[in-house]
């Protein structure tokens, strides 16, 4: 019968305990959280913690934990409703200088985290899929589109010497033309070169 030496047995026990220790983070799972980071080059500072805390207190949103890790704040919540409410509240209060997003925060104890313990990253198939929400700032998109096509229209119509004036009003471009014939020619050019646009005639 083969027998291992005491040293070999001790090494086996040590590596077994080490494996169990670093497998523990997978047992703790993750908590619902709101992640707050800087939107620009300037990193978010610990001094911003008071602003975040005060904002949540005003809305009576209680967090389980507030964490600051590598220039990112994590606000941990018990339930999905509090998480969603906090995300909307912080996004409105903090403005465009911050990125506020829903996330999952690891619930690994601090002592284990300090030892380098991390939960295994699970793919979408193991997490049961993902709910993806894309938010689009339509006003900003429209403003960019108007600016782009405003310059294109000026160039196209100036070459034909058709308009008296052209200007941006809210989310539309208003063109004042020289003659009735100019209107028909302008409409033909716009429908040909900028087919995505819809045109409406207005009598002055």
Q: Based on the domain organization, do 86 and 12 belong to the same domain?
A: yes
Residue with tokens 């995505």: 196
C-alpha distances (whole Å) from 145 to each of 97, 152, 199 are 23, 11, 16
Are residue 157 and residue 75 in the same domain, yes or no? Answer: no
Q: In which domain, by residue range, is 181 found?
A: 139-193
Q: Which of 82, 115, 131 is the last residue of a domain?
A: 131
Rounded to whole angstroms, the Cα distance separating 157 from 13 reads 83
Selected residue with higher pLDDT from 201 and 85:
85
Across the range 1-29, mean pLDDT stands at: 80
Share of the chain above pLDDT 70, in %: 81
The yes-or-no verdict on residue 11 having pLDDT over 80 is: yes
CB 187 within 8 A of CB 200: no
Q: How far is CA 195 from the centre of its chain?
A: 32
Between 66 and 200, the higher pLDDT residue: 66
Question: What is the pLDDT, as a whole number, of residue 20?
Answer: 83
CATH number of the domain at 29, please: 3.30.70.260
Number of domains in the chain: 2
Single residue among 93, 114, 131 that ends a domain in this structure: 131
Q: Do 116 and 18 share a domain, yes or no?
A: yes
Verify that 165 and 98 share a domain, yes or no: no
Q: For the residues 160-181, what does the mean pLDDT come to?
A: 74
Confidence of residue 153 (pLDDT cuts 50, 70, 90): confident
Instruction: Note the pLDDT of residue 125.
Output: 56
For residues 169-189, give the mean pLDDT.
Answer: 75
Read off the pLDDT of residues 103-119 as tens digits, 9 standing for 90 and up: 887 777 777 777 777 76
Q: What is the mean pLDDT of residues 37-61?
A: 77
């Amino acid at each position: 019968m083969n027998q291992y030496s005491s040293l070999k047995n001790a090494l086996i026990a040590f590596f077994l305990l080490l494996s169990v220790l670093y497998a523990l983070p997978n047992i703790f799972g993750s908590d619902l959280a709101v992640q707050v980071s800087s939107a620009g080059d300037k990193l978010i500072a610990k001094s911003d913690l008071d602003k975040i805390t005060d904002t949540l207190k005003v809305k009576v949103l209680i967090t389980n934990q507030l964490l600051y890790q590598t220039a990112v704040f994590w606000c941990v919540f018990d339930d999905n409703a509090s998480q969603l409410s906090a995300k909307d509240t912080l996004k409105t209060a903090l403005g465009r200088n911050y990125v506020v997003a829903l996330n999952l925060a690891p619930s690994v104890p601090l002592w284990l985290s300090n030892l380098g313990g991390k939960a295994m990253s699970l793919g979408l198939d193991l997490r049961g899929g993902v709910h993806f929400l894309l938010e689009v700032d339509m006003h900003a998109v429209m403003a960019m589109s108007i600016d782009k096509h405003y310059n294109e229209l000026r160039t196209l119509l100036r070459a034909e010497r058709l308009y008296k004036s052209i200007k941006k009003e809210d989310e539309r471009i208003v063109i004042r033309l020289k003659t009735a014939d100019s209107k028909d020619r302008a409409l033909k050019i716009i429908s040909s070169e900028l087919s995505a646009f819809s045109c409406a005639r207005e009598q002055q």
